[in-house]
Structure 1
Amino acid sequence: MREIPLYNSFVKIESITKGMSSDKKYYIETVDGQHMLLRIADASEYAQKRTEFENMKHLASLGVPMPSPIDFGTCDNGKSVYTLISWIDGVEVETLLPSLTLKEQYIFGVESGQILQKIHSVPLTTICDNWAERYFSIIDPRLEAFRSEGIHFEGDTIILYYLESNRDLLCNRPQCHHHGDYHMGNMIQSDTNRLSIIDWHTVDFEGYGDPWYEFNRIGIKFGRFASGQIDGYFNHDVPEKFWKLFAYYLAASAITSIVWAKYFAPERIQDILKMNTDILHWFDDMKNPIPTWYLRDFS
């Protein structure tokens, strides 16, 4: 860490343990009063971290509300790679929403949807592989794992049938850069009342893919917020095909999480099983692609 050029200005270094990333994370304060986040990873991740840093710089330059990229490089005699970004003081939207009115929750959702749309407006600079092939190369083995060793529940065959019979929905989908983990816990209402997006270091499907795939982490716990996010993203004109793909990605994510939780997070099994049964309810046993919690033209 001492090799980081700004190290001599650090007056406070606090380790951060929250989150599932393998990165070492630190809250930093500098002699001139700046607050920063320092992430340190193994040098084998240099190329990936470099790409992340450059993408953050580009998005920040477009006005996406997010931490400002400050510095990037190697340390620990070349054994580690570091990323230094600004720290955003504020409250997680997930913590804030319960204290808001339903209208305020919806307004927050609209703003988050507009930000996501701006993130997705950045075109990929390289030719991408076919999205359907990339997606199914990951999801199909997970679905097979559920069939062979998952915890089965009433209605699981309905979800599996929907996923199998609607695979063509993923054909010829456009692709763009992803945030990677777009949910309420990664949204901060800053001390200056600005909604900002944090944690740009989750790499799912190598950081790019179908833009609508990112809705699989939407904050359904707050239906008004989720409705607002969808409306904000589409400027209140949601295409029919979105709903079918939204149901697809949500259901696939939920049912394939069961085996993961069985082995790695058994304490979450019941919550994930409930999510699957909720999905069956929201989409009327997968017969109606518009979920029951979606509110049209809420204001």
Structure 2
Amino acid sequence: MRFLIAESEPPEARDERRKSVGRSSGETYLDLLARLAPGATCHRVTPADADSALPPGESPGGYDAVLFSGSPLALYEETPEVRRAVAFMRATFASGTPAFGSCAGLQLATVAAGGTVRRNLHGPEAGFARRITATESGRAHPMLAGRPAAYDAPSIHTDEVETLPAGASLLASNRGTTVQAAEIRHDGGVFWGVQYHPEIGLDEVAGALRRQADDLVESGLALSPAEVEAQAALVENLHREPDRRDLAWRLGLDDQVTDSERRQTEIQNFIDALLRHGRSLAP
């Protein structure tokens, strides 16, 4: 199989993330695909960058799938970076190549297909999205196969989908964020996406909390940076020792988060659909 990773993090955000956890958001996807699809060819592109380019002779249509990573870009802002990222998502739809995206990846597909994104109405969803539940459509959708009636997932975002575009199906929600998972069909292409982060490890959750500590204090989720650090330390320790039931209990987590295979359910299901059904993702 041939995968293209589209990483819309600006250069400064990539550098900050690498200093924090050792890899950019796109590099996290590369590492994950090496485990979930051994032997696959994987390329990475940074479509928000002015000098971004695919490998010579390549186009989105030449890949089996494109996977869109998270990013701090605010998709409701008219910036050159946003315009370039949205144009690349539209080119992916038009190519007919199926796509998957997490966090800003879902937001990017939404805007590219005619929907809207806004700041979170209820403030940041930081660390973990709690009690995500599938809609009636989601319960029958292959992306969420294997998920229980309610589940938690790694998540950290300050923006959210406001309105899904025409041709989209809402698949999952929780009390904090209405659009937690969706399928978008647009211009001959299909996209599966989630607002949460099935691709990241708990070490990356801890790193995200630390990078955004001041914002979390300002939003009222913590009283001080020291409180954020204490929470991040618990998460990082659980990453190192995932069988520590005491840490999972203190964080209110179960195996949907602590077990890496269950945590990565949506991405594994996306790859399985590609293998079974090809570019349509459906029988």
TM range (shorter): under 0.3
TM-score by length of 2: 0.27
TM-score by length of 1: 0.26
More strand by share: 2
More helix by share: 1
